[in-house]
Structure 1
């Protein structure tokens, strides 16, 4: 079903791209748009992870360069029954994380240094579990591809501002479709993908981690931090905002936000904790993980992370 939804969403974006091409260039424009969309889909399928990681200037780390983060991801991947993904650090004060890759065998997860600076080890593990849930649910490919195509539609629409046809293609109705309707529709499709899948990744990530309240506390910290610290990547490429665990730009639960409201996600996680019998708050671990700092074993948190203790 997830694969079917992916194909339908990509088909919808491709149709929008073709409609915009037709508006700007008639039948020839539609055919060119179809060829461009097909080429983009093919290229993005094989290079989704590289596109996103290069966009963020992410650096790959291993057990030697970032033992805490790498060990957390390794333990969680084992628990989730996933192949070990590549692990990346993004040198940015903006606190956020994302996952990318066309399938679990070619996945990568990344966290910013800003995230590691403000979260405890338990909270970092909860965030990484959320990102691994995206990998397990095969969300990463469709999220990256829709962000790419939606961005292309917006760029083509901007080109339409300067288009002047000689056969009534440059009339006001066509310009309205090219400049407003098509990119708006593409944005709605992109936002719908991101918003619905965040709830699914929250639940699946909490199940992988073992304690929904750690993800809830992490989301609260990340949302507050992301609101204070600018995200230059999302500012340059707004279509990338849907990739992050918390909004890269907008906030709230409005039609135009890339994510559900953080308070709604936290409420859902609290309800999940209640359903699982976790009625008391989780133990607090005050010291943030940091990019490569060591946390004493006595302060590594509750039994929810027992499989990670050896890391």
Structure 2
């Protein structure tokens, strides 16, 4: 049901592109806008990973520069039945992470330096597993395309406002102004709705991949608290990429419902706790003290 809902919302975003074009330039404007939407989707399909990674200054790491991190990603990718994704680190004090790429063979996982310093190894495994779940379900392509289209709608609306909605058909200036104001908001609502519809499923699948829902639940609590007080400068500059992250990176992200990029963190944590109680995440024995990821959770091998 979530998949159907997601594609319906994406179709709505594309239709909104056509509505904006019609409001600004009549039938001709609508045709041109839909053509531009198709070109935008095609561009996003081939360049989605580069767009997101470059926007946040991500630096690729390898087994020599970050052996423990790369090894963990490799182990979890194997558990998820995925090829090894590229691994990137973002220089940001805010703990956060995202995945991108048009398919599992061209995927990348990016984590911030703040995340590496704030979480235990088990919690980090939960976060990476969540991102791998997005890759496996191909959410990464869908979310990057929607971010690109939503940004293009805003640009188109602003362009129409600046140039008076000129086209082959006369356009009411009030319609132009209303379109310029409302279209970006509508695009943002649709984009955020798509993002929220995928997070619960990625949490569930990520818990199964890492082996314990409580690891991800603990990580989400820590990330949410830090994201509220630590500014992610690049995310503020590129707000369209916010739905890609595991937790909303924008400092104004406390607004819920229609304008929230993610479900409420407490609801996600509660769902993961329910999953742990049901035993669906296949957690290790309660008495097990040794971390399956190697070193003790109290050490910080990422620096």
TM-score by length of 1: 0.86
Return the offset for 1:28.
2.2
Distance verdict in 2 for CA 1:131–1:289, change over 3 Å: farther
Task: Give runs of aligned pairs for residues 57-72 of structure 1, distance below 5 A.
Answer: 57-72=57-72
Q: Does 1:179 align with 2:185?
A: no
Q: Distance in 1 between matches of 2:122 and 2:92?
A: 21
1:170 aligns with one of 172, 183, 192: 172
Q: Distance in 2 between matches of 1:244 and 1:76?
A: 19
TM-score by length of 2: 0.89
Q: Distance in 1 between matches of 2:288 and 2:159?
A: 52
Q: Show the counterpart of 2:258.
A: 255
Asked if 2 retains the 8 angstrom alpha-carbon contact of 1:82 and 1:136, the reply is yes
Asked if 2 retains the 8 angstrom alpha-carbon contact of 1:118 and 1:288, the reply is no
Q: Distance in 1 between matches of 2:19 and 2:65?
A: 49
Q: Which shifted more, 144-153 or 232-241?
A: 232-241
Q: Distance in 1 between matches of 2:3 and 2:40?
A: 19
Q: Does 1:275 align with 2:286?
A: no
Q: Deviations over 1:128-171 (max 9, x none)?
A: 00000000111000000001110111122223333425765133
Q: Distance in 2 between matches of 1:46 and 1:3?
A: 22
Q: Show the counterpart of 2:132.
A: 132
Q: Distance in 2 between matches of 1:148 and 1:207?
A: 31
Return the offset for 1:286.
5.0
Asked if 1 retains the 8 angstrom alpha-carbon contact of 2:85 and 2:108, the reply is yes
Q: Which shifted more, 21-30 or 74-83?
A: 21-30
Distance verdict in 2 for CA 1:28–1:108, change over 3 Å: same
Could you say what secondary structure the match of 1:161 adopts?
Answer: helix
Q: Show the counterpart of 1:56.
A: 56
Return the offset for 1:33.
1.2
Q: Distance in 2 between matches of 1:182 and 1:290?
A: 47
Asked if 2 retains the 8 angstrom alpha-carbon contact of 1:116 and 1:288, the reply is no
Distance verdict in 2 for CA 1:115–1:156, change over 3 Å: same
Q: Show the counterpart of 1:34.
A: 34
Asked if 2 retains the 8 angstrom alpha-carbon contact of 1:214 and 1:282, the reply is no
Q: Does 1:105 align with 2:105?
A: yes
Root-mean-square deviation over aligned CA pairs: 2.3
Q: Deviations over 1:6-34 (max 9, x none)?
A: 65444322221121112112222222212
Could you say what secondary structure the match of 1:98 adopts?
Answer: strand
Q: Show the counterpart of 1:224.
A: 225
Q: Distance in 1 between matches of 2:248 and 2:38?
A: 29
Q: Distance in 1 between matches of 2:112 and 2:39?
A: 31
Q: Distance in 2 between matches of 1:3 and 1:280?
A: 35
Q: Show the counterpart of 1:215.
A: 216
Q: How many residues align?
A: 291
Q: Distance in 2 between matches of 1:151 and 1:290?
A: 38
